[in-house]
Amino acid sequence: MLSRFQFVLLQHPLEHRNGIGTARMAHHCLENSKLILGASFDDNVQVNSLIADSENHCVVLYPGNDSINITQESPSETEKRFPVGKNRVIFVIDGTWFCAKKMLRKSLQLSLLPQICFTPKAGSEYKIRQQPHPQCLSTIEAVHYLIEHLDPGVDPSNLMNVFRGMVARQLTFLKNPKCVT
């Protein structure tokens, strides 16, 4: 799937070890994405070159105090936040909420970027992992929502199809312990 937005998935090392983590799934579903492993990104060449490139307009998906809630805007209002003629880059932090907060705090370059957030229409479908709050979503669900809201010409349903398939498969393992070795 090709979106007008480049998604840069910043994955915490602890999430990288998780075989059912959703950043990797999102990365494989999106043509214009990067998956970068780390806990701090100030010294990361890929991240710094994306931020420094004058052809890019970068934002971070993060529900901080200074975040702009795009759910409260129409897609055309949000569109105005991205300058015409610039590549649209969205950094998505993939980790537990504790780790995500720490990752942003340890990455000055990222923390200086504009932050966006949204209010999900429904709770997470990630039935095999516990979310700390009903409005917390997995990375792939968040990317799906962003594409749905920001890039209405693109059908992001493949992201959710892959995700739902993985969740259903994992639930069969939980119901049948003999499947797990």
160-163 contact pairs (CB < 8 A, 24+): 160/125, 162/25, 162/29, 163/22, 163/25, 163/125, 163/126, 163/138
Range of the domain at 16: 5-179
Whole-number Å distance between alpha carbons of 65 and 71: 15
pTM over 0.85: yes
Phi, psi of 19 (to 5 degrees): -65, -20
Q: Residue 53 — pLDDT band, cuts 50, 70, 90?
A: very high
Write the pLDDT tens digit of every residue in 11-48. 999 988 777 778 998 999 999 899 999 999 999 999 99
Number of C-alpha atoms within 13 angstroms, CB side, residue 87? 14
Question: Is-contact 7 30, C-beta < 8 A?
Answer: yes
Q: In this structure, how many other beta carbons lie within 10 angstroms of the beta carbon of residue 77?
A: 11
The rounded percent of the chain whose pLDDT value lies above 90 is 50
User: Roughly what angle, to the nearest 10 degrees, separates helices 157-175 and 22-29?
Assistant: 140
Total number of domains in the chain = 1
Whole-number Å distance between alpha carbons of 60 and 90: 6
- Tell me the one-letter amino acid at 85: G
Question: Is-contact 36 10, C-beta < 8 A?
Answer: yes
Write the pLDDT tens digit of every residue in 119-177. 888 766 565 556 656 667 888 889 999 999 888 888 888 887 887 777 667 766 666 66
pLDDT at res. 15: 86
> Mean pLDDT of all residues in the chain?
86
pLDDT at res. 124: 63
Task: Return the closest-CA partner of residue 63 out of 30, 34, 90, 97.
Answer: 97
